[in-house]
Chains A and B, each alone.
Chain A
Amino acid sequence: MTIPWPPLSSLIVVPALGALGCLAPWFSSKIDTRARFVRVWALGVSILTLVILAAIARAATMSHGAVLGLEEAHQWIPSLGITYHLELDGLSFAFCLLTAVISLAVIAWSAKPASAGAGWYALLLLGEATVMGAFLATDLVLFYIFFEAMLLPVLGAMALWGGAQRLNAALKFLIYTMAGSSLMFLSILYLGWNAQAMGHTLNGNFAFEITTLASMKMLNPTEQLVLGLAFLLAFAVKIPIVPFHGWLPDTYREAPHGVAAFTAALLGKVGIYAVIRFMWPLFPHFMAQAGPYIAAAGAVAIVFGALVAMAQKDLRSLLAYSSISHLGFCVLGIAGVSTMAMTGAVFQAVSHGLITAALFLTVGAIIDRQGSRDFDRLGGLARSIPLTAFFLMIFSVAAVALPLTSSFVGEFLILVGAWKLFPQWTLVALLGVVLGAVYTLTAYLRTMFGPLHATDPQTGGDIRGFDVVVLAGLAAAIIALGIFPSDLLGMISAAVEVSAGAAVLADNSIAQAFSR
């Protein structure tokens, strides 16, 4: 279904133009006016994007029931069969919503690097535009462009305003992801060429659009294996799945708080999304065979991340490894054909985005005000900064997946759903539930409880003003999704069933692969 207005492109174009707009008053002479204008402008743009997304979703649900299925298609490079094709279904909607909310939160967060001016907001809006694009594109080439482009704003912000090791970390991040995705690009070219060679395309051209490619079923198992591995490598680095996570600790440690929150909340989610959107329809046979290994990787990541997090003494490093652990649940969820687990994985991805961004911002506030990120130099802060302590408690509780927070819904659906397919890996994953409580509560204990550390430079006070609104908003979203998740779950599951379920269940060889 296509709708005339507002077009899906506006979700990409508005923040992109907004990013340009941030640079407009660059030539104004008064620095103060400039800074205030840019902040208000960026806030306005990100709110507008969220409103547009809500309007599109509302218009679609009004006319077509609960399930979204909006498309927007234009010819782009006809000679190569590359199209500009966007689609918003339940799956994309969940991630787009996350992107809009996180971008707004990070832009609204008052703390930013001292030297950051208009460029900070421009890069964040550019990041929002590219991530949105990745979640909307259904043409593989278009997706690939967004997939790579979303690195640039993050790398830029990191290189400009990161910690002491920022260049090293940025370079590492770049090389890791490029190394991962280069093979995917070759595979995409092969897919397009193959479609033409088999004579399946309409005008004898290449084809890169996912529904066209998936409906052909022309890939033999060997092709599926080779191409599937190439795709998987790209996403394994991006999510990341252990042991392809080498870039993550450095990136999360060196990036400015806002960028770390943005990266942790959104970039890895593209990997989760792409596995469901592209890999299951394109390589059903490969996915069915690789499923147990992917599930194993997810379960191992959960325990691995948790164990390493337990050994950390630096708050940001702890968040980095806990992220690996929590994303392991998503990986476990997308490993097999179970609507319950896969829907749970998407929901968990959204939930993790909200929680991890909130944690990075809260921890950032603590680090900035206390001048330290080391447990040994923190402690007893609950008395001096009660509001921060309150929010950190809510987000910690959400991180350990207590019921009535969003992450419980995700983890519960994943664990119960995956139990049928991979009981042994689900059991391993469950260990992460205990270990998660250990490191999360220990981190809270070391920062907030105990006697106040005497050497603390009590420079800053509690969080206040706009930042309280941001954290309260994120907390409200986490709890609302924890109590009333059914609408979003319904949307996601409808899309997931179309994207993965139908393609797989139609293929008889898969059923055999499972019965074995």
Chain B
Amino acid sequence: MEDIRLALVVLIPLIGAVVSYALGRAAPKVAGMFATAAVGASFAVVISLWRALEGGQTFSFTLSSWMSFADIRLPLEIYFDKLSAVMCLVVTGVGSLIHLYSIGYMAEDESRPRFFSYLNLFIAAMLILVLGKSLPVIFIGWEGVGLCSYLLIGFWYTNPEFASAGRKAFVMNRIGDLGFLVAMAILYHACGTLDITVLSRPEVLARIPSEMGFVAGIALFLAATGKSAQLPLFTWLPDAMAGPTPVSALIHAATMVTAGIYLMARMFGVIELDPMVPAIILWTAFATSAIAAIIAISQNDIKKVLAYSTVSQLGFMFLAVGVGAYSVALFHVVTHAFFKACLFMSAGSVIHGCHHEQDMRRMGGLAKAMPLTCLSYGAATLAIAGIAPFAGYFSKHAILESLAHAHNPYLLAYGGLIGVGATAIAICTAFYMTRSFILTFLGSYRGEGHPHEAPMVMTAPVMVLAVLSVTGGLVLNHGFFTYLQGPLPPVAEHAGGGILGYILGSVPGALGIAAAYVLLVIAPAAKEQVRKVLWLGEKLSAGKFFVDELLGVFVIAPTRTLSGVVSRVLDQSVSIGTGNAIGSISRAIGELTCRVTTGQVSTYVLWMFASAALLLYCFLPVR
């Protein structure tokens, strides 16, 4: 059904981006309020659309005929179903809270209008991403959020390191985009369309040749690894922390980085064409999640801890994708959006309160100075640790449970191993998050400044998210999976319930929390012992598994060398050199001719006779 409201959802933040910049030039204070209002209005429209969804009904709206010509149909059309609804609600809901928070966080920055303009633009792009009716339209959003991410990471562009971090994010995402483009090419030629509603039909997918099915699936996953920071393309996300903290909360935790999971869920028919693809997803996700969790343990920058934690949690979502439990992955997307946005914004309040200090070694004891922030950070920590009945418990538990039901011919007997490993990662998660909580809020203050609580405009949205982190899982647990059963395949019902189930399910989280508390508070001396035993782990963790270094040696340096060689040898010497050489030779011949044409008649006569003699010798039968 065509519905103009759908266009409004995207257009309001888009207009907001332009107007908040223009208004902001005149009165910087207005920019933030206007931008927040725009996202809020978009949220309201999304709610009205969501409430209008009944049964299998969907809405769509065509914005332009776009690349439709001859017999090619590629319109710019957006589409709203239950899956889009979930994503839109998160994007605009959490988005408006983060906008509100940003008014306080950016209050002293002179480039506020630019900031809020980018932020609104991001919301618009993200909405196109989750509303696109065809892969090219999704790709508009896909690239749009990438651009906004680039602009916002490098928001404080006078620092060349920040600007470079933005470029790194963009380029790494571009590598993933190759996969997106390849997948579109394959699917277009095999199925004759890129419309996702058509591409989900089994009879259409059956037209894809089997060997191409594998390539298309892997290509889509490559796209997802770029956007959702999975191996080997995850190192841009920690660097992306160069951006202002609300950006980290919105783009690099709650929304954009989950686009890869959304894409996998949307295109699950393609992903499952070849069972090898889910197997590869599963192993990649596991490795990413484990590596990121281990790295997070040794980080001292509060934002870096959260960044690696995000990578790790995204890996968790991909674990669910790998076993075909897409709605479970989406569930973790939602709860993660709550607690990770809450964590980032609390961290932002801490950074704000400690005068732009991000190193946890110079924090401590902040529970007294900023009790509200401590409370929200603590609640979100319990949520991410997976303690019942906090939000993270339900989604994480659902993932672990779906891993147990995994059936994939390529996993052989190792399927169970991933389940055990994932539980270990959950313990690890609880450990490093508790560590960050202890370092920041407990003990005594180790910095020089005078930490203070954030203003209301910042604490209020954080408290809302804290409440959602506490209750979100419990509320959504019932009905979330059945709600998504239209667009996504059904998942096995969970046994989960009961007090005993809650207690048992919280054990990994509790273990991690206890370990952190023991090592950091009760018996700090034991820490050195543990370090000695786990020296290899510590080296790898501190060195961030040397992924950046490996990429540098095996990808960046060779490309740079190649660029130099091609430029100097192939271009300057061979291509242009040959052209120049031909020119020089011609000139030499010309100069030779000049020497011959002396202008003296006697010379010419001599040449004439000589040539005549030569001709006579050649052609006359002298014999």
Contact = CB atoms under 8 A, between A and B. Distances in A.
Contact of A486 (B67, B184, B570): B67
Interface string B168-202: 00110011011001101110110000000000000
Interface stretch (B136-144, B317-325, B362-370): B136-144
B564 A415 contact: no
A489 B178 contact: no
Contacts of B164: 445
Nearest to A324: B571
A58 interface: no
Contacts of A426: 185
Given A420-B189, A426-B185, A486 B70 contact: no
Interface in A402-422: 402-404, 408-409, 412-413, 415-416, 419-420
A402 B184 contact: no
Interface string B520-562: 0000000000000000000000000000000000000001101
A490 B583 CA distance: 45
Nearest to A434: B174
Given A308-B566, A434-B178, A486-B65, A402 B167 contact: no
Nearest to A492: B69
Contacts of A249: 576
Interface in B39-72: 64-70, 72
Interface stretch (A132-140, A252-260, A446-454): A446-454
Contacts of A312: 567
Nearest to B215: A423
B574 interface: yes
Interface in B147-182: 147, 150, 154, 157-160, 163-164, 167, 170-171, 174-175, 177-178, 181-182
Contacts of B163: 445, 449-450
B171 A441 contact: yes
A308 B571 contact: yes
Contact of A430 (B178, B576, B579): B178
A490 B74 CA distance: 13
A451 B159 CA distance: 7
A459 to B, nearest CB: 21
B69 A486 contact: yes
A437 B170 contact: yes
A246 B178 CA distance: 30
Nearest to B178: A430
Contact of A493 (B69, B150, B567, B576): B69
A450 B171 CA distance: 19
Interface in A449-479: 449-452
A484 B64 contact: yes
Interface in A180-224: none
A340 interface: yes
A489 B167 contact: no
B76 interface: yes
A369 interface: no
B76 A438 contact: no
A403 B157 CA distance: 24
A310 B566 CA distance: 10
B423 to A, nearest CB: 37
A175 interface: yes
A377 interface: no
B232 to A, nearest CB: 14
Contact of A246 (B143, B157, B567, B576): B576
Given A402-B147, A433-B174, A486-B65, A304 B160 contact: no
B349 to A, nearest CB: 28
B409 to A, nearest CB: 28
Interface residues of A, number: 62
Contact of A380 (B158, B177, B568): B158
A433 B177 contact: yes
A47 to B, nearest CB: 28
A293 B214 CA distance: 28
Contacts, number: 146
Nearest to B114: A386
A478 B160 CA distance: 30
Interface residues of B, number: 54
Given A307-B567, A403-B139, A497-B70, A243 B578 contact: yes
A337 B179 CA distance: 25
Contacts of B611: none
B593 interface: no
B70 A490 contact: yes
A328 to B, nearest CB: 14
Contact of B70 (A176, A485, A493): A493
Given A419-B189, A430-B178, A339 B67 contact: no
A24 interface: no
Nearest to A448: B157
A373 interface: no
A283 B602 CA distance: 53
Nearest to B188: A416
B575 A339 contact: no
A402 B66 contact: no
A275 B478 CA distance: 63
Contacts of A339: 70
A397 interface: yes
Contacts of A380: 158
Contacts of A489: 67-69
A361 to B, nearest CB: 23
A55 interface: no
Nearest to A441: B167
A402 B575 contact: no
Nearest to A435: B559
A431 B562 CA distance: 14
B444 interface: no
B570 A304 contact: yes
A107 B185 CA distance: 41
Q: Which one of A445, A452, A492 has the greatest number of beta carbons of chain B within 10 Å?
A: A445
A438 B64 contact: no
Contacts of B570: 304
A243 B575 contact: yes
Interface string B233-259: 000000000000000000000000000
A449 B580 CA distance: 38
Query: Taking each of A310, A441, A485, which has the highest tally of chain B beta carbons within 10 Å of its own beta carbon?
Result: A441
Interface of A: 172, 175-176, 242-243, 245-247, 249, 304, 307-308, 310-312, 339-340, 343, 380, 382-383, 397, 400, 402-404, 408-409, 412-413, 415-416, 419-420, 423, 426-427, 430-431, 433-435, 437-438, 441-442, 445, 448-452, 483-486, 489-490, 492-494, 497
Name the 7 nearest CB pairs between A and B, nearest first: A246-B579, A419-B185, A311-B567, A489-B69, A449-B163, A243-B575, A403-B140
30 contacts: A172-B583, A246-B580, A304-B570, A310-B559, A311-B563, A339-B70, A383-B158, A403-B143, A403-B144, A412-B67, A416-B185, A416-B189, A419-B185, A419-B188, A433-B178, A434-B174, A434-B177, A434-B178, A435-B559, A438-B171, A445-B167, A449-B158, A449-B163, A450-B159, A450-B163, A483-B64, A484-B65, A486-B65, A486-B67, A493-B69
